[in-house]
């Protein structure tokens, strides 16, 4: 597939599956044997674990939304810089709902094969997210 086709797959995954919660489209865009290098411990490997993670994320942050700020493709890879945001209304990874809104930066490195995501690496500014949600101190505000 071309770089533009790969970028279109990733854009659909972000906009339709993650942002709109259309999890039924997930299997069309992601290989069942996906290798997710960023999946938190305790989730099953492959696409099933990623589906579980995003279901949990959307339950905790019902208004969760990615904004794609930049997207670059080369060969089988797509890299994107995103702004992630949402209001924490449910428990997430052992943290009780804070009711607070947070926005943080994310970077995704995605490898595709035959029109499907087969490998993923992700980096999130988790410290900024935790500070905004009230679970980590902000410098200058004490402990």
Q: What is the pLDDT of residues 4-32, one digit of tens each?
A: 999 999 999 999 999 998 988 999 999 99
Q: What CA–CA distance (Å, rounded) separates 54 from 63? A: 12
Q: Specify the pTM.
A: 0.92
Cα separation of 109 and 136, whole Å? Answer: 27
By the 10 Å C-beta count (0-12 exposed, 13-18 middle, 19+ buried), 5 is classed as exposed
Mean pLDDT of 35-60: 94
Residue ranges of domains in the chain, CATH in brackets: 3-133 (3.10.450.50)
């Amino acid at each position: 597939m071309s770089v533009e086709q790969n970028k279109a797959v990733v854009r659909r995954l972000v906009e339709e599956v993650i942002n709109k919660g259309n999890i039924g489209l997930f299997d069309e865009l992601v290989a069942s044997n996906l290798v997710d290098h960023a999946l938190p411990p305790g989730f099953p490997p492959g696409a099933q674990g990623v589906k579980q993670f995003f279901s949990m994320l959307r339950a905790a942050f019902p208004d969760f939304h990615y904004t794609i700020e930049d997207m670059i493709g080369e060969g089988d890879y797509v890299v994107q810089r995103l702004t992630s945001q949402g209001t924490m209304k449910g428990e997430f990874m052992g943290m009780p709902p804070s009711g607070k809104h947070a926005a943080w930066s994310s970077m995704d490195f995605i490898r595709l094969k035959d029109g499907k995501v087969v490998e993923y690496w992700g980096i999130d500014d988790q410290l900024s997210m935790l500070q905004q949600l009230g679970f980590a101190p902000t410098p200058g505000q004490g402990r």
